Chains A and B, each alone.
Chain A
Amino acid sequence: NAGVTQTPKFRVLKTGQSMTLLCAQDMNHEYMYWYRQDPGMGLRLIHYSVGEGTTAKGEVPDGYNVSRLKKQNFLLGLESAAPSQTSVYFCASSYGGTGIFYEQYFGPGTRLTVT
Protein backbone atom coordinates (compact mmCIF):
# COMPACT_ATOMS: atom_id res chain seq x y z
CA ASN A 1 0.00 0.00 0.00
CA ALA A 2 1.20 3.50 -0.84
CA GLY A 3 -0.73 4.98 2.10
CA VAL A 4 -1.33 8.70 1.65
CA THR A 5 0.27 10.37 -1.36
CA GLN A 6 0.35 14.04 -2.32
CA THR A 7 0.90 15.69 -5.67
CA PRO A 8 2.95 17.79 -6.35
CA LYS A 9 5.80 17.74 -3.84
CA PHE A 10 6.92 21.30 -4.59
CA ARG A 11 5.31 24.22 -6.36
CA VAL A 12 6.06 27.90 -6.88
CA LEU A 13 3.17 30.20 -7.76
CA LYS A 14 2.87 33.87 -8.51
CA THR A 15 0.37 35.98 -6.61
CA GLY A 16 -3.06 35.59 -8.13
CA GLN A 17 -2.43 32.24 -9.80
CA SER A 18 -4.53 29.22 -9.01
CA MET A 19 -3.64 25.61 -8.36
CA THR A 20 -4.97 22.34 -7.01
CA LEU A 21 -3.22 20.00 -4.63
CA LEU A 22 -4.17 16.34 -4.88
CA CYS A 23 -4.29 13.91 -1.99
CA ALA A 24 -4.91 10.22 -2.56
CA GLN A 25 -5.23 7.35 -0.07
CA ASP A 26 -5.50 3.63 -0.70
CA MET A 27 -6.62 2.57 2.78
CA ASN A 28 -10.35 2.95 2.16
CA HIS A 29 -10.53 5.63 4.84
CA GLU A 30 -13.72 7.61 5.28
CA TYR A 31 -12.19 10.77 6.71
CA MET A 32 -9.64 13.01 5.04
CA TYR A 33 -8.00 16.26 6.15
CA TRP A 34 -5.92 19.14 4.85
CA TYR A 35 -3.50 20.94 7.19
CA ARG A 36 -1.00 23.69 6.72
CA GLN A 37 2.24 23.88 8.66
CA ASP A 38 4.02 27.18 9.28
CA PRO A 39 7.14 27.71 11.40
CA GLY A 40 6.26 28.03 15.07
CA MET A 41 2.56 27.44 14.41
CA GLY A 42 2.27 23.67 14.38
CA LEU A 43 -0.33 22.15 12.07
CA ARG A 44 -3.61 23.93 11.53
CA LEU A 45 -6.66 22.29 10.00
CA ILE A 46 -7.87 23.91 6.77
CA HIS A 47 -10.76 21.67 5.68
CA TYR A 48 -11.81 18.12 6.23
CA SER A 49 -14.22 15.53 4.86
CA VAL A 50 -16.12 12.81 6.69
CA GLY A 51 -17.07 10.95 3.54
CA GLU A 52 -17.39 11.08 -0.23
CA GLY A 53 -19.25 14.20 -1.30
CA THR A 54 -18.88 15.97 2.07
CA THR A 55 -16.59 18.78 3.18
CA ALA A 56 -16.35 20.97 6.27
CA LYS A 57 -14.33 23.98 7.38
CA GLY A 58 -11.49 23.71 9.81
CA GLU A 59 -9.60 26.34 11.74
CA VAL A 60 -8.14 28.30 8.78
CA PRO A 61 -10.39 27.78 5.71
CA ASP A 62 -10.26 31.24 4.12
CA GLY A 63 -8.74 31.34 0.65
CA TYR A 64 -9.09 27.59 0.10
CA ASN A 65 -11.70 25.31 -1.39
CA VAL A 66 -11.90 21.52 -1.32
CA SER A 67 -13.72 18.72 -3.06
CA ARG A 68 -14.20 15.02 -2.31
CA LEU A 69 -15.74 13.58 -5.44
CA LYS A 70 -14.18 10.15 -4.88
CA LYS A 71 -13.63 8.45 -1.55
CA GLN A 72 -9.93 8.00 -2.17
CA ASN A 73 -9.18 11.58 -3.29
CA PHE A 74 -9.33 14.93 -1.53
CA LEU A 75 -8.46 18.05 -3.52
CA LEU A 76 -7.35 21.39 -2.09
CA GLY A 77 -7.71 24.41 -4.32
CA LEU A 78 -6.29 27.89 -4.18
CA GLU A 79 -8.27 30.16 -6.49
CA SER A 80 -6.07 33.25 -6.18
CA ALA A 81 -2.83 32.52 -4.38
CA ALA A 82 -1.42 35.03 -1.90
CA PRO A 83 2.04 35.18 -0.28
CA SER A 84 0.37 34.36 3.07
CA GLN A 85 -0.43 30.94 1.64
CA THR A 86 3.25 30.06 1.40
CA SER A 87 3.40 26.98 3.59
CA VAL A 88 3.83 23.24 3.74
CA TYR A 89 0.55 21.45 3.17
CA PHE A 90 -0.18 18.04 4.63
CA CYS A 91 -2.99 15.70 3.83
CA ALA A 92 -4.12 13.03 6.27
CA SER A 93 -6.74 10.31 6.38
CA SER A 94 -8.38 8.13 9.01
CA TYR A 95 -10.95 5.36 9.14
CA GLY A 96 -13.37 7.68 10.90
CA GLY A 97 -14.94 7.58 14.30
CA THR A 98 -12.90 7.39 17.49
CA GLY A 99 -11.58 4.70 19.76
CA ILE A 100 -8.44 2.72 20.29
CA PHE A 101 -7.88 2.09 16.60
CA TYR A 102 -8.22 5.73 15.63
CA GLU A 103 -5.19 7.31 13.98
CA GLN A 104 -4.57 9.89 11.29
CA TYR A 105 -2.12 8.85 8.61
CA PHE A 106 -0.16 11.67 7.01
CA GLY A 107 1.18 12.24 3.52
CA PRO A 108 4.72 13.51 2.85
CA GLY A 109 3.63 17.11 2.31
CA THR A 110 3.64 19.72 -0.47
CA ARG A 111 5.88 22.73 -0.14
CA LEU A 112 4.18 25.73 -1.76
CA THR A 113 5.81 29.10 -2.29
CA VAL A 114 3.81 32.09 -3.48
CA THR A 115 5.87 35.01 -4.77
Chain B
Amino acid sequence: EGLLVESGGGSVQPGGSLRLSCAASGFSFSFTWMHWVRQGTGKGLVWVSGVSADGTTARYADSVKGRFTISRDNAQNTLYLQMNSLRGEDTAVYFCARGGRLGSFDDWGQGTLVTVAT
Protein backbone atom coordinates (compact mmCIF):
# COMPACT_ATOMS: atom_id res chain seq x y z
CA GLU B 1 0.00 0.00 0.00
CA GLY B 2 1.33 3.39 -1.00
CA LEU B 3 1.74 6.54 1.07
CA LEU B 4 0.75 9.88 -0.41
CA VAL B 5 1.36 13.21 1.34
CA GLU B 6 -0.02 16.43 -0.11
CA SER B 7 1.27 19.92 0.60
CA GLY B 8 1.00 23.44 -0.75
CA GLY B 9 -2.57 24.29 0.15
CA GLY B 10 -3.53 27.60 1.67
CA SER B 11 -5.54 30.76 1.23
CA VAL B 12 -5.37 32.78 -1.96
CA GLN B 13 -7.35 35.60 -3.51
CA PRO B 14 -9.48 35.10 -6.60
CA GLY B 15 -7.30 35.23 -9.68
CA GLY B 16 -4.28 33.99 -7.76
CA SER B 17 -2.15 30.89 -8.11
CA LEU B 18 -1.07 27.94 -5.99
CA ARG B 19 1.06 24.89 -6.60
CA LEU B 20 0.16 21.66 -4.85
CA SER B 21 2.62 18.82 -4.35
CA CYS B 22 2.12 15.16 -3.52
CA ALA B 23 5.05 13.10 -2.26
CA ALA B 24 4.65 9.39 -2.98
CA SER B 25 6.32 6.37 -1.43
CA GLY B 26 5.81 2.64 -0.99
CA PHE B 27 4.99 1.81 -4.60
CA SER B 28 6.44 2.11 -8.08
CA PHE B 29 5.48 5.72 -8.70
CA SER B 30 6.86 5.89 -12.21
CA PHE B 31 4.67 3.01 -13.37
CA THR B 32 1.25 4.37 -12.50
CA TRP B 33 -1.19 7.10 -13.44
CA MET B 34 -1.64 9.74 -10.76
CA HIS B 35 -4.62 12.00 -10.11
CA TRP B 36 -6.01 14.95 -8.22
CA VAL B 37 -9.53 14.74 -6.79
CA ARG B 38 -11.20 17.56 -4.86
CA GLN B 39 -14.02 17.87 -2.37
CA GLY B 40 -15.77 21.05 -1.32
CA THR B 41 -16.90 21.32 2.28
CA GLY B 42 -19.88 19.02 2.76
CA LYS B 43 -19.82 18.12 -0.93
CA GLY B 44 -19.00 15.05 -2.99
CA LEU B 45 -15.84 13.93 -4.72
CA VAL B 46 -14.89 15.54 -8.02
CA TRP B 47 -12.09 14.27 -10.25
CA VAL B 48 -9.87 17.17 -11.33
CA SER B 49 -6.96 15.86 -13.36
CA GLY B 50 -4.83 12.82 -14.11
CA VAL B 51 -1.39 12.23 -15.66
CA SER B 52 0.08 9.13 -17.24
CA ALA B 53 2.98 7.22 -15.75
CA ASP B 54 5.55 8.84 -18.04
CA GLY B 55 3.99 12.28 -17.76
CA THR B 56 3.25 12.65 -21.46
CA THR B 57 -0.55 12.40 -21.25
CA ALA B 58 -2.70 14.65 -19.08
CA ARG B 59 -6.47 14.78 -18.68
CA TYR B 60 -8.55 17.54 -17.09
CA ALA B 61 -12.10 18.11 -15.96
CA ASP B 62 -13.79 20.81 -18.04
CA SER B 63 -14.08 23.03 -14.96
CA VAL B 64 -10.28 23.40 -14.67
CA LYS B 65 -9.08 22.98 -18.25
CA GLY B 66 -6.87 25.86 -19.30
CA ARG B 67 -6.32 26.99 -15.70
CA PHE B 68 -4.73 23.96 -13.98
CA THR B 69 -1.68 21.99 -15.08
CA ILE B 70 -0.77 18.57 -13.75
CA SER B 71 2.80 17.31 -13.87
CA ARG B 72 5.10 14.84 -12.21
CA ASP B 73 8.76 14.26 -11.38
CA ASN B 74 9.38 10.54 -11.43
CA ALA B 75 12.94 10.98 -10.15
CA GLN B 76 11.54 12.66 -7.03
CA ASN B 77 8.35 10.54 -6.78
CA THR B 78 6.32 13.74 -6.70
CA LEU B 79 3.08 14.83 -8.33
CA TYR B 80 2.17 18.48 -8.84
CA LEU B 81 -0.87 20.59 -9.62
CA GLN B 82 -0.29 24.15 -10.76
CA MET B 83 -3.48 26.11 -10.23
CA ASN B 84 -3.85 29.50 -11.91
CA SER B 85 -6.74 31.96 -12.23
CA LEU B 86 -8.27 30.53 -9.10
CA ARG B 87 -11.98 31.06 -8.41
CA GLY B 88 -14.14 30.77 -5.34
CA GLU B 89 -15.57 27.50 -6.64
CA ASP B 90 -12.09 25.98 -6.57
CA THR B 91 -12.20 26.08 -2.77
CA ALA B 92 -11.90 22.47 -1.63
CA VAL B 93 -9.74 19.82 -0.09
CA TYR B 94 -7.50 18.46 -2.83
CA PHE B 95 -6.59 14.78 -2.63
CA CYS B 96 -3.77 13.10 -4.47
CA ALA B 97 -4.70 9.57 -5.59
CA ARG B 98 -2.88 6.66 -7.19
CA GLY B 99 -4.41 5.23 -10.30
CA GLY B 100 -5.27 1.61 -9.72
CA ARG B 101 -6.89 -1.39 -11.26
CA LEU B 102 -9.46 -0.81 -13.96
CA GLY B 103 -9.70 2.96 -13.63
CA SER B 104 -10.06 3.04 -9.85
CA PHE B 105 -8.07 5.00 -7.29
CA ASP B 106 -6.14 2.61 -5.08
CA ASP B 107 -4.51 4.92 -2.55
CA TRP B 108 -5.32 8.41 -1.35
CA GLY B 109 -3.49 11.10 0.55
CA GLN B 110 -5.11 12.92 3.44
CA GLY B 111 -5.70 16.03 1.38
CA THR B 112 -4.65 19.68 1.44
CA LEU B 113 -7.11 22.55 1.81
CA VAL B 114 -7.27 25.30 -0.78
CA THR B 115 -9.36 28.37 0.07
CA VAL B 116 -10.02 31.02 -2.56
CA ALA B 117 -11.49 34.15 -1.02
CA THR B 118 -10.91 37.89 -0.73
Whether A and B are associated in the same complex: the answer reads no
Chain A residues at the B interface, C-beta cutoff of 8 Å: none
Chain B residues at the A interface, C-beta cutoff of 8 Å: none
